[in-house]
C-alpha cells in the first residue's frame, strides 16, 4: 500500500510540474522517474484532455485506474451519475439552481453515490467534452460587462415593513474581474444608466466599451453584428465626463 501511495504521488508531481511548463528532463530529475515514464504519463494526460484540478480532486484508486494500461471498466456508481449528467446540465441553466442542491437530490436517490467534490469533478469532465469553451484574453481597461443577474431580491421598508422586489445589477471588468453590484427598483433605462454611471465612479475610470448583452434597457434592436442602441444609452456612452 505504501508503494502504491508513493506511485500516485509521483504521478501528481509529474503532472503538476508539466502544467507549470517544466521540461520532461527537469521533471525526471526532480522526481527520480525515468524520462520515458514521464513522457508516458504526460502523453496520457494530454490525450485525455485533463486539467491538473481534475487530478488533485480524485482518489489514488481512481487516479490509478485513469492511468492504467488496462481499459477501465466503469463502475455502477459512475454509470448512475453519467446517465444523470445531461439532466444536471439542463437544471443548472435554471435560475437559482446550484450544484450543491442537485448533488443533494442525487444523494437522496443514490445514498452511496459520490461526494460533492467528485460529483462536481465528473460533471466538469463531462462538460469539457460536450461543451468545449474558448479562453478569452482581456486587456486592462478594455471592456466593462454589465447585466441584471439572477432572481429578484427583496428589501424591507424599515418604516412600514413593506417588502419590495428589486433587480440585481452587476458590472465586471474583464481583465481584473473587479465587480460592482447594486440593487435597482427596475430594469428601466433610467435605473440601468444610473447603475452604469455608479459602476464607473466605483471603478474610477471609463473602459473602451460597455458590453450589455442586448439588454432592453440599452438595445432597441438586437443584432449579431450591429445592434441598435437606445438613444439615451448611446448619449450616455458618448458622454465625455461622468
- Note the pLDDT tens digit of each residue in 55-103: 887 887 777 777 765 445 567 888 889 899 999 999 998 877 899 999 9
Query: According to the model, what pLDDT value does residue 86 have?
Result: 92
Q: Taking 70 as the threshold, does the pLDDT of residue 118 lie above it?
A: yes
Cα separation, 39 vs 33, in Å, equals 10
| Cell numbers found for residue 220 | 432597441
Query: According to the model, what pLDDT value does residue 35 have?
Result: 85
**Residue 155 and residue 198 in contact, taking contact as beta carbons nearer than 8 Å:** no
* Per-chain mean pLDDT for the chain: 81
Query: According to the model, what pLDDT value does residue 222 have?
Result: 57
Cα separation, 171 vs 196, in Å, equals 8
Q: What band does 5 get if pLDDT is binned at 50, 70 and 90?
A: very low
Cα separation, 47 vs 165, in Å, equals 50
**Residue 150 and residue 96 in contact, taking contact as beta carbons nearer than 8 Å:** yes
Q: What band does 3 get if pLDDT is binned at 50, 70 and 90?
A: very low
Strand-pair category, 209-211 with 143-148: parallel
User: To the nearest whole percent, how much of the chain has pLDDT over 70?
Assistant: 83
Query: According to the model, what pLDDT value does residue 4 have?
Result: 41
Closest CA to 169 of 188, 155, 156: 188
The reported pTM is 0.48
User: To the nearest whole percent, how much of the chain has pLDDT over 90?
Assistant: 22
Average pLDDT over residues 215-220: 63
Cα separation, 98 vs 89, in Å, equals 10
Strand-pair category, 219-221 with 209-211: unpaired
Least reliable range by pLDDT among 5-9, 181-185, 210-214: 5-9
Q: What are phi and psi of 52, to 5 degrees?
A: -60, -30
For the beta carbon of residue 90, count every other beta carbon within 10 angstroms.
10
Amino acid at each position: 500500500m505504501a508503494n502504491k501511495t508513493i506511485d500516485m504521488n509521483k504521478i501528481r508531481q509529474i503532472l503538476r510540474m508539466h502544467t507549470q511548463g517544466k521540461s520532461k528532463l527537469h521533471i525526471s530529475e526532480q522526481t527520480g522517474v525515468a524520462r520515458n515514464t514521464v513522457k508516458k504519463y504526460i502523453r496520457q494526460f494530454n490525450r485525455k484532455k485533463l486539467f491538473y484540478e481534475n487530478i488533485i480532486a480524485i482518489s489514488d484508486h481512481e487516479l490509478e485506474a485513469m492511468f492504467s494500461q488496462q481499459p477501465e471498466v466503469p463502475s455502477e456508481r459512475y454509470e448512475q451519475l453519467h446517465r444523470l449528467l445531461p439532466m444536471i446540465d439542463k437544471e443548472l441553466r435554471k435560475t437559482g439552481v446550484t450544484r450543491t442542491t442537485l448533488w443533494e437530490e442525487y444523494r437522496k436517490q443514490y445514498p452511496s453515490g459520490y461526494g460533492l467534490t467528485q460529483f462536481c469533478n465528473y460533471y466538469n469532465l463531462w462538460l469539457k467534452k460536450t461543451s468545449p469553451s474558448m479562453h478569452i484574453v482581456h486587456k486592462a481597461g478594455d471592456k466593462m460587462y454589465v447585466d441584471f443577474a439572477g432572481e429578484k431580491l427583496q428589501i424591507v421598508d424599515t418604516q412600514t415593513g413593506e417588502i419590495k422586489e428589486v433587480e440585481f445589477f452587476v458590472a465586471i471588468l474583464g481583465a481584473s474581474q473587479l465587480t460592482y453590484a447594486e440593487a435597482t427598483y427596475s430594469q428601466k433605462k433610467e435605473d440601468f444608466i444610473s447603475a452604469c454611471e455608479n459602476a464607473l465612479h466605483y471603478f474610477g475610470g471609463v473602459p473602451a466599451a460597455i458590453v450589455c448583452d442586448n439588454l432592453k434597457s440599452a438595445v432597441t434592436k438586437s443584432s449579431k453584428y450591429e445592434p441598435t442602441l437606445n438613444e439615451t444609452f448611446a448619449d450616455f456612452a458618448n458622454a465625455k465626463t461622468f
